Structure 1
Amino acid sequence: MAPSIPKVQRAAVIAQTGSKVQVKDDFPVKQPEELAPGECLVRLHCTGVCHTDLHAALGDWPIPPKAPLVGGHEGVGEIVAIGRDTAESPVKIGDRVGIKWIAYSCLNCEQCRKGLEQNCAKAKLSGYTTDGTFQQYVVSWVNCVTPIPEGIDSEAAASVLCAGVTVYRALKYSRTLPHDWVVLPGAGGGLGHLAVQYAKYMGLRVIAIDGGEEKRQLCEKLGADAWIDYTTCKDIVAEVKRIADGKGAHAAVVTTAHPSGYTQAVDYLREGGSLMAVGLPAKAELSASIFFTVFKSITISGSYVGNRQDAIEAVNIAAAGKVKVFYAAKPLKELESVYEDLGKGKIAGRIILQM
């Protein structure tokens, strides 16, 4: 017997870009008979909150979001309906699945065929160009949702679907080998605390950079080999080099939204090092010495979320107990206060909204 689908639901809506969040109890639910082939309806258990969601609410990125907007892109829930005439669906009603930043990609263009589904020209972005996971029921696409395996709770899986996938892919393509040094600016935050764990899983030595006692304790608990507090350290470049054998780090995965995380990296990387650009400051530009970038054979790579395979790998590693998500659970109605804390850099780990 098919589950009962309500006509309306609770959703957190941004009426226009830059306005405050309004939690409504009468937001419409797309009905099963309205789903197009390939679409599915997911009843959400929970959703994560990401700094990207704050950018979407503020509209401070170069590409504007839709408005009105239901934000959110880290949802986990159960499929309750699939569009009529959907052919060869890889998922079925009742499956637990995750909804990511990349809600849809065509899977047939050059970028998709090369594994760069996130760069598909037809991509739909959850909580940005299409309504996302800050609602009880969300429409997604059967070929793009991520199956969630046993061994991981929905709250933890939610954060892995964005923060985890993003840092996992950046580390995966950072050209590092076991025992290499990797620097993680923003290591105590939502992305950073997962990056510490994925890096340790890959056998890397981690230099964690962040500010404050709470974040220091979290990073050291997760296995960071060294800690640098940017609020008290007078010369971060010199300190990284001192820790990393006097030569500098092999790679940096910059998750902080502050531009200084990028400008320092070329200076503290050793010859042949890799700078993986992950964090997205709203208006900052990458400033680096061209001479030393060339002279030191530094590789600078933008790493934008991940594809479907990256997501499956990242979730499976977490489900195997190798990565633990540290989160606090809050109700959907507290989203506006979560945004305020995100903007002030007060949140260690992740925030999960329960439906």
Structure 2
Amino acid sequence: MNRAIVYTNPGTIETEVIEKPIEEPAPGEVLLRLHYSGVCHTDYGICTNVFATLPPTPKGQIGGHEGVGEVIKLGPGTTSLKLGDLVGVKWSASACLSCGNCLEGGETTCPAGTISGFMTPGTFQQYCLAPANYVTPIPRSLDPAGAAALMCGGITVYTALKRAEVKHGQWVVVLGAGGGLGHLAIQYAVALGTRVVALDVGAKEEFCLGLGARAFVDFTKFAGEEDGGEQLAARVKELTGGAGAKVVLACSSSNKSYAQAVGLLGFRGTLVCIGVPEGGPEPIGGANAGDMITRELKIFALKSGNRADAKECLDIATAAGIKTRYELRPIDSLTQVFKDMEEGKINGRVVLDLR
């Protein structure tokens, strides 16, 4: 039997472990025995229905989109993988690979694609079906539990830096730097030769500096003042030698962090929107046309990366020694994990042990 975690009452953090039959792979599919699954803040958002732009999550949904496991059965006609291969399942579970979006590399926005853990079974289960042409081979030199979190967090922050065209020596500001996305963003930014200013709550300063950030700012010290955003921008400008950030990675889901993000940018700076804001859609604070023209700013967003980005992400992690800082927890602990997320108690990532 397949032990799986389901969302029992979407809109809350209630989950439970159930048993269900193990399914057979169809042509072109493989059956995976998953060993680990990272828990992303987006999983929390899908379980609790906090994203106003998404349809309600169905009761009984199997969540998760950061899975690593072994191929244990090949569907008819599957030749690209072999039994025992270690592979990962990403945010984008499948894509047609032939539409205009896919041909431009936008596989995560494929109209015919599916998303792991949202309206399709995800990686919070021991056995998972996946298209053979869309899973990501995992180097055996990587810690498989840590590699699970790279399937979303790592790919996303690496792709953000790649598309922002960061250059050696530039200043990168990471918002939510001590979280699952942020702590990986620090490491990838450092591996690409940039200098990092980490922003998070004060309790995460030592953690972020230990990952290679050049400086840390406790954003809560600027939260109570009416001009707190201006003071925060002034502090970042001071730390960057007056230049401001060339790239700001918004890894937090806080609307407040987005409201302050544009002010942190220097000339021709780029804001990359990664963390999905909770609640209804709000404008990005400070992004007025006049200021953007004056400073020649750029803003773009992404969900995650494509298959090529995933491979590059793992190659860099292997070469640069990038490691997920994670806490391994049992399969029946997801509700508590979500509770800890709500209370800001998690440094790095939580990875579920599905073995």
Is the structural similarity TM-score above 0.5? yes
Give 1:279's aligned amino acid. G
Match of 2:199 in 1: 209
Match of 2:289 in 1: 290
Q: 2:220 aligns with which of 213, 217, 231?
A: 231
Match of 1:109 in 2: 99
Secondary structure of 1:291's partner? Answer: helix
Match of 2:225 in 1: none
**How far apart are the structure 2 equivalents of 1:280 and 1:105?**
21
**How far did 1:148 drift?**
0.4
Equivalent residue runs for 1:56-205 within 5 Å: 56-61=46-51, 62-64=53-55, 65-86=57-78, 89-205=79-195
Structure 2, unmatched stretches of 5+, are: 223-227
Please tell me whether residue 279 in structure 1 is matched to residue 275 in structure 2: yes
**How far apart are the structure 2 equivalents of 1:16 and 1:105?**
29
Match of 1:340 in 2: 339
Query: How many matched pairs?
Result: 342
Q: 2:256 aligns with which of 253, 260, 273?
A: 260
Q: 2:34 aligns with which of 17, 38, 44?
A: 44
Q: What does the per-residue CA deviation read over 1:204-248, in whole Å, with 9 as the maximum and x for residues that have no partner?
A: 0101000022x1111111110111001224521110111111121
Runs of 4+ in 1 over 6 A off after TM superposition: none
Q: Answer whether contact 1:150 1:319 (CA < 8 A) is retained.
A: no
**How far apart are the structure 1 equivalents of 2:128 and 2:97?**
21
> Using a 3 Å threshold, how does the CA distance of structure 1 residues 331 and 245 change in structure 2: closer, same or farther?
same
**How far apart are the structure 1 equivalents of 2:315 and 2:59?**
35
Secondary structure of 1:191's partner? Answer: helix
**How far did 1:129 drift?**
2.1
Match of 1:241 in 2: 237
Structure 1, unmatched stretches of 5+, are: 1-7
Backbone CA RMSD of aligned residues: 1.4
- TM normalised by structure 2 equals 0.93
**How far apart are the structure 1 equivalents of 2:26 and 2:193?**
45
**How far apart are the structure 2 equivalents of 1:36 and 1:10?**
21
Q: Identity, % of aligned pairs?
A: 41
**How far did 1:320 drift?**
2.7
**How far did 1:260 drift?**
2.1
> Using a 3 Å threshold, how does the CA distance of structure 1 residues 158 and 50 change in structure 2: closer, same or farther?
same
**How far did 1:22 drift?**
3.7
> Using a 3 Å threshold, how does the CA distance of structure 1 residues 22 and 241 change in structure 2: closer, same or farther?
closer
Name which of structure 1's ranges 118-127 and 321-330 shifts more when overlaid on structure 2.
321-330
